[in-house]
């Protein structure tokens, strides 16, 4: 197998490249000319320039000579320009599949998202049999990923390309060049002096495990199938309690609902506009509170997927974040990292 990975400088893409290099699989990273390559530092893999919304001939050149493309390039954000989200998800994925087919690529693995299967209002676990959710009333990001999957399946069938869809849950971990909504769930809690939690819950997984799982799907995934890639389903109060222990900030001390969270998110968006710094939360995210984004990864497990526990994923993420610029000096002053985080941070056995 020879791989090309779009979005190779991103959180998931960089972990896919690292997994491939570790497995001895020939791989090239595909990035935009403006991409920050810090996430690929020290990785011995060639990098080529192409934009999924740019000239088609550059994409075709990037894919020439490989038999599998893993398409992780995407915009992951809640709030902001919904039209841009939709364009990258749909038109970008269409361009990747068409370019791959043009140069004889046999298989394309597309990074989708667990949220394409919707959510439950109670503590129920969802699997792939639920089918794609109705995009009506969903946040722009969710609607864009649902549209991406539908379009991708149709286009892959038209071009006779084997398409496999990887659906990660909230993927946390290091080596990212930007914060992203998943790691931001940690920084937002550390920055919240009230140490509040929310109703509902989500599934937490290590970004490194998700990266390795993409390689597994490239090798063993069934064409036209979705594969949920998660680890553990946790209530928000348990997630925040874990973060509180690992960072030393404690809590949570109380629960707030979607309405209060929406007001706080509006204030955070206003602060971000004034300072030019990314918002740690958005009103779109607040609208998702009280729901259970809990998923079953049994289909991927049948192929050999075995993710590490959510607690270990959070330990590694906190270790990376503690040394990153994504936590303010003021928030860092409240932190007292747990011993297990310190051991990971300084390279000794956890």
Rounded distance between C-alpha atoms, residue 35 and residue 122, angstroms: 40
pLDDT surpassing 90 at residue 82: no
Please provide residue 110's backbone torsions phi and psi, each rounded to the nearest 5 degrees.
-105, 130
pLDDT confidence band for 269 (50 / 70 / 90): confident
pLDDT digits (tens, 9 = 90+) for 282-297: 788 888 889 999 999 9
Compute the average pLDDT of residues 163-183. Answer: 92
pLDDT surpassing 60 at residue 348: no
pLDDT digits (tens, 9 = 90+) for 84-142: 889 999 999 999 999 999 999 999 999 999 999 999 999 999 999 999 999 998 889 99
Sign of the dihedral defined by the CA atoms of residues 266, 268, 111, 205, in that order: negative
pLDDT surpassing 80 at residue 272: no
Q: What does the pLDDT read at residue 279?
A: 72
Q: What is the DSSP string of 37-52?
A: -GGGTT----EEE--T
| Mean per-residue pLDDT over the chain, rounded | 93
pLDDT surpassing 80 at residue 258: no
Q: For tokens 């993927």, name the residue.
A: 171
| Interacting residues of 164 by C-beta distance below 8 A, sequence separation 6+ | 107, 108, 109, 110, 217, 218, 221, 222, 223, 224, 225, 227
Q: For tokens 């079953």, name the residue.
A: 296
Rounded distance between C-alpha atoms, residue 283 and residue 289, angstroms: 10
pLDDT surpassing 50 at residue 349: no
Rounded distance between C-alpha atoms, residue 316 and residue 345, angstroms: 8
pLDDT surpassing 70 at residue 304: yes
Rounded distance between C-alpha atoms, residue 139 and residue 131, angstroms: 18
Q: What does the pLDDT read at residue 199?
A: 94
pLDDT confidence band for 257 (50 / 70 / 90): confident
Query: How, if at all, do strands 226-229 and 162-168 pair?
Result: parallel
Q: What does the pLDDT read at residue 323?
A: 87
Q: For tokens 């998660």, name the residue.
A: 230
The angle at the Cα of 258, spanning 253 to 259, to the nearest 5 degrees, equals 105
Share of the chain above pLDDT 70, in %: 99
pLDDT digits (tens, 9 = 90+) for 201-244: 999 999 999 999 999 999 999 999 999 999 999 999 999 999 99
pLDDT confidence band for 161 (50 / 70 / 90): very high
């Amino acid at each position: 197998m020879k791989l090309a990975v779009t979005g190779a400088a991103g959180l998931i893409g960089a972990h896919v490249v690292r997994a491939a290099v570790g497995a001895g699989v020939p791989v090239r990273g595909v990035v935009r000319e403006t991409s920050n390559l810090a996430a690929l530092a020290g990785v011995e893999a060639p990098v080529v320039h192409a934009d999924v919304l740019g000239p088609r001939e550059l994409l075709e050149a990037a894919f020439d000579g490989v038999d599998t493309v893993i398409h992780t390039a995407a915009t992951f954000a809640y709030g902001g320009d919904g039209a841009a989200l939709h364009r990258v998800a749909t038109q970008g994925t269409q361009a990747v599949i068409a370019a791959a087919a043009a140069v004889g690529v046999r298989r394309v693995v597309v990074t989708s998202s667990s949220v394409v299967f919707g959510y439950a209002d109670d503590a129920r676990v969802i699997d792939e049999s639920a089918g794609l959710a109705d995009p009506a009333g969903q946040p722009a990001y969710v609607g864009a990923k649902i549209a991406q999957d539908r379009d991708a399946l149709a286009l892959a069938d038209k071009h006779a390309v084997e398409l496999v869809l990887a659906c990660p849950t909230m993927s946390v971990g290091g080596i990212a060049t930007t914060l992203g909504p998943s790691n931001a769930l940690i920084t937002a809690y550390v920055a919240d002096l009230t140490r509040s939690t929310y109703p509902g819950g989500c599934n937490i997984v290590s970004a490194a495990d998700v990266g390795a799982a993409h390689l597994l799907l490239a090798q063993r995934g069934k064409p036209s199938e979705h594969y949920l890639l998660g680890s553990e389903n946790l209530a928000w109060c348990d997630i925040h309690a874990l973060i509180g222990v690992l960072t030393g900030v404690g809590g949570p001390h109380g629960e707030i609902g979607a309405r209060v969270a929406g007001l706080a998110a509006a204030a955070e968006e206003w602060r971000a506009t004034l300072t030019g710094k990314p918002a740690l939360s958005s009103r779109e995210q607040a609208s998702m509170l009280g729901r259970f984004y809990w998923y079953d990864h049994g289909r991927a497990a049948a192929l050999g997927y075995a993710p590490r526990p959510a607690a270990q994923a959070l330990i590694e993420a906190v270790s990376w974040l503690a040394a990153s610029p994504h936590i303010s000096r003021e928030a860092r002053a409240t932190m007292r990292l747990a011993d297990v985080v310190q051991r990971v941070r300084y390279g000794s056995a956890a």
